[in-house]
């Protein structure tokens, strides 16, 4: 069973690594060809696939495949999924902003390093010291640029969320329940304030 577990985790990590490598390649290519306005269109599908695949990491933690605590994994993956699907996919007005470029490049560099680190560990039992150094040092730059891009894009989207009332549930209805996506998004932004330094 230990061999099966390692084989599965190696395949998972390298598959997602190649997904993020594709995202980075398409992003840089789009930046060079058409500027930041074309980045999202170039990376949309591989970005969605690579980021959504991270949901499996929550499951890995829950069933004990990895030692990462779900309490640390869940907010990080949840916030990224919110930006990927709840902001960029849901509100096309945000897609041509320059922050999309810094977001995508920060995320992809971080994940290329992380998944290659864990993929190498699963295959060979350890990772080279250079990859170990990158794994625990690159976040000093990538985390602030990534998190500030996430916060910035949520903030930019607020005007479009409010105007469209997308995902809002208004009273009266048969459930006697209301939900406002605008205020929920503000709440997400407020969670970044205590959450970001803790994750850093």
Domain extent listing, the chain: 1-198
- Alpha helices, DSSP H, located in the chain: 2-34, 39-52, 55-63, 70-81, 98-124, 129-137, 139-164, 181-199
Nearest-angstrom CA–CA distance, 153 and 89? 12
Question: Per the residue annotation, which of 25, 143, 155, 192 is the catalytic one?
Answer: 143
pLDDT of residue 195: 61
Respond yes or no: is residue 143 known to be catalytic: yes
Mean pLDDT by 10 residues, the chain (200 residues): 90 97 98 96 98 95 88 90 98 98 97 96 91 91 94 98 94 89 96 66
> Residue 124 class from Cβ within 10 Å (0-12 exposed, 13-18 middle, 19+ buried)?
exposed
* CA angle in degrees (0–180, nearest 5) for 184-186-191: 95
CB of 115 closer than 8 Å to CB of 22: no
pLDDT of residue 189: 94
61 backbone φψ class: left, alpha, beta (φ>0; ψ -120 to 50): alpha
Nearest-angstrom CA–CA distance, 102 and 109? 11
Respond yes or no: is residue 122 known to be catalytic: no
Question: Per the residue annotation, which of 12, 115, 150, 181 is the catalytic one?
Answer: 150
């Amino acid at each position: 069973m230990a061999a099966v577990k390692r084989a599965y985790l190696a395949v998972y990590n390298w598959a997602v690594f190649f997904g993020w490598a594709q995202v980075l390649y398409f992003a840089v290519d789009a930046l060079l060809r058409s500027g930041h306005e074309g980045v999202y269109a170039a990376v949309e599908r591989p970005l969605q696939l690579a980021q959504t695949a991270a949901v499996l990491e929550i499951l890995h933690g829950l069933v004990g495949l990895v030692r990462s605590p779900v309490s640390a994994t869940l907010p990080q993956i949840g916030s990224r999924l919110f930006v990927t699907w709840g902001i960029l996919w849901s509100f096309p007005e945000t897609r041509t902003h320059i922050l999309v470029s810094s977001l995508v490049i920060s995320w992809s560099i971080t994940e290329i390093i992380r998944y290659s680190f864990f993929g190498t560990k699963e295959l060979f039992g350890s990772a080279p010291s250079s990859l170990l150094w990158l794994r625990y040092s690159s976040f000093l730059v990538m985390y602030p640029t990534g998190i500030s891009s996430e916060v910035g894009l949520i903030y930019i989207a607020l005007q479009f969320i409010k105007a469209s009332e997308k995902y809002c549930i208004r009273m009266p209805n048969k459930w006697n329940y209301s939900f406002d996506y605008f205020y929920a998004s503000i709440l997400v932004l407020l969670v970044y304030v205590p959450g970001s330094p803790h994750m850093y």
